[in-house]
């Protein structure tokens, strides 16, 4: 197509039960997504625990743009654009560190870690210049929820709480797995790059239809009970929270098992220190309920995926080029639990792990497939006639139904139709 649809034309590409294949492959649509989604709404950037001390920094991204997340000397978290205001050179070359300032390697302009321009080489050529107008670019709005830092380039729009909506409860549900109520992102990131459109990844994260087939080999080798969670007889559900946020809620299955830590493939006896700390923090009954339910499996639109034991961040680089940044979740005050989380993460999505390799093969096969264009449409109608509302009014269906994809595309259309 290579032509961005007008607002009135998005409905011709996005229907309630199907979407046009060009949405994944048209470079012009990808550029429009950057403007209407990535540079407009709230996007997850990083976690406060990645910059725990004054002057800590870590390089992140919003879409293809490099962003430096810093904690300045006053303790404030800043999101700065990694672009010198002089000639555009990137001022930060390292992934993380501790620095009061960043000096551009091109002409030695120096910026404080709150973005202020503090000096430049050979200043006698800049008489009368106002340094305050030559600061690093900043992400316009920065807000944090339970330590998760989001940024938006839009000066006005919904608050972060409005953007998260019902999905905020899933983050609340996650942090309670820490005896101290905090997640720590301290295990380092792996980067998985695929030649596929970012929305194939977005949809896959809460697609409960594929695990029984795509991941059957690892489920079999590991003699895992995970596969049954996604079978035809499963009582687990998918959920559409609105605003593009989706979930696979496995709690009904875990509650049937009535066994703490079964979601993690272990028992209380194997994590005695963690179990004791949880009971001390929440009381015996509440701690047991938390440890039976397990952590959430939720996709926060457009780029934050919390997958029980891991966290993924989606970064689109081009219409057919995407990166998944992956790390093991770590819970404050839970060292024995965290050690197992790191081990299981490496085993499942590390360089030799099968889970992400399985998924990556599917992303790239789908991307190559939509380039064929015939048939033009991708069908997403599974479970459409058995959708229902849960007690809070969110759409839910069987774990294998495509409620999440339909919810994502409905929200996507609303964003792309905005002028």
Neighbours of 39 (CB within 10 A): 17
Identify any residues that bridge with 325 across adjacent strands, giving them in sequence order. Answer: 191, 313
- β-pairing, 245-249 with 395-398? unpaired
Computed on alpha carbons and rounded to an integer, the radius of gyration of the chain in Å comes to 22
User: What pLDDT was estimated at residue 1?
Assistant: 56
Query: pLDDT category, 5, cuts 50, 70, 90?
Result: confident
How distant, in Å, are the alpha carbons of 50, 92, 296, 315, 369 from that of 97?
A: 10, 10, 31, 22, 42
| pLDDT tens by residue, 306-352 | 999 999 999 999 999 999 999 999 999 999 999 999 999 998 888 88
Mean pLDDT of 138-147: 98
**Percent of the chain at pLDDT exceeding 90:** 89
| pLDDT tens by residue, 319-331 | 999 999 999 999 9
Q: Tokens 């695929």 appear where?
A: 194
User: What pLDDT was estimated at residue 6?
Assistant: 83
Q: Tokens 């555009």 appear where?
A: 88
- The pair of structure tokens assigned to 179 is 């005896």
Mean pLDDT of 11-37: 96
Statement: residue 31 has pLDDT above 80: yes
| pLDDT tens by residue, 286-295 | 999 999 999 9
Contact 48, 145 (CB under 8 A): no
Query: What is the C-alpha to C-alpha distance for residues 362 and 21, in angstroms, rounded to an integer?
Result: 16
């Amino acid at each position: 197509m290579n032509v961005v649809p007008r607002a009135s034309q998005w409905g011709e590409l996005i229907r309630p039960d199907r979407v046009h294949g060009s949405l994944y492959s048209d470079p012009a649509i990808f550029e429009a997504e950057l403007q209407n989604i990535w540079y407009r709404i709230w996007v997850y950037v990083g976690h406060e625990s990645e910059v725990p001390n004054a002057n800590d920094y870590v390089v992140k991204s919003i879409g293809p743009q490099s962003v430096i997340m810093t904690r300045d000397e006053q303790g404030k978290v800043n999101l700065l654009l990694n672009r010198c205001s002089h000639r555009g050179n990137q001022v930060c070359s390292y992934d993380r560190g501790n620095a009061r300032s960043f000096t551009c390697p091109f002409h030695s302009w120096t910026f404080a870690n709150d973005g202020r321009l503090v000096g430049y080489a050979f200043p006698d050529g800049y008489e009368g210049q106002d340094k305050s107008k030559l600061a690093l670019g900043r992400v316009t709005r920065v807000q944090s929820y339970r330590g998760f830092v989001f940024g938006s380039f839009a000066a006005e729009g919904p608050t972060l709480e409005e953007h998260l909506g019902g999905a905020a409860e899933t983050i609340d549900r996650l942090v309670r797995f820490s005896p101290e109520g905090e997640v720590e992102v301290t295990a380092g990131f792996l980067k998985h790059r695929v030649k596929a459109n970012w929305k194939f990844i977005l949809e896959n994260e809460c697609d409960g239809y594929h695990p029984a087939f795509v991941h059957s080999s690892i489920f079999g080798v590991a003699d895992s009970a995970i596969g049954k969670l996604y079978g035809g007889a499963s009582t687990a559900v998918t959920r559409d929270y609105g605003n593009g946020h989706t979930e696979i809620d496995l709690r009904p299955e875990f509650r049937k098992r009535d066994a703490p830590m079964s979601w993690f493939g272990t028992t209380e006896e194997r994590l005695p220190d963690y179990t004791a700390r949880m009971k001390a923090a929440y009381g015996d009954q509440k701690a047991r309920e938390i440890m039976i339910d397990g952590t959430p499996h939720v996709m926060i639109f457009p780029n934050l995926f919390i997958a029980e034991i891991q966290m993924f961040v989606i970064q689109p680089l081009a219409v057919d080029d995407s990166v998944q940044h992956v790390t093991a979740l770590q819970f404050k005050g839970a060292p024995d639990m965290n050690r197992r989380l790191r081990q299981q993460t490496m085993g499942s999505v590390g360089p030799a792990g099968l889970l992400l390799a399985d998924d990556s093969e599917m992303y790239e096969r789908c991307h190559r497939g939509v380039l064929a264009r015939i048939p033009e449409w991708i069908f997403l109608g599974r479970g459409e006639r058995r959708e229902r509302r849960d007690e809070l009014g969110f759409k839910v269906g069987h774990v294998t139904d495509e409620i999440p994809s339909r919810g994502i595309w409905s929200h996507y259309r609303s964003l792309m139709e905005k002028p």
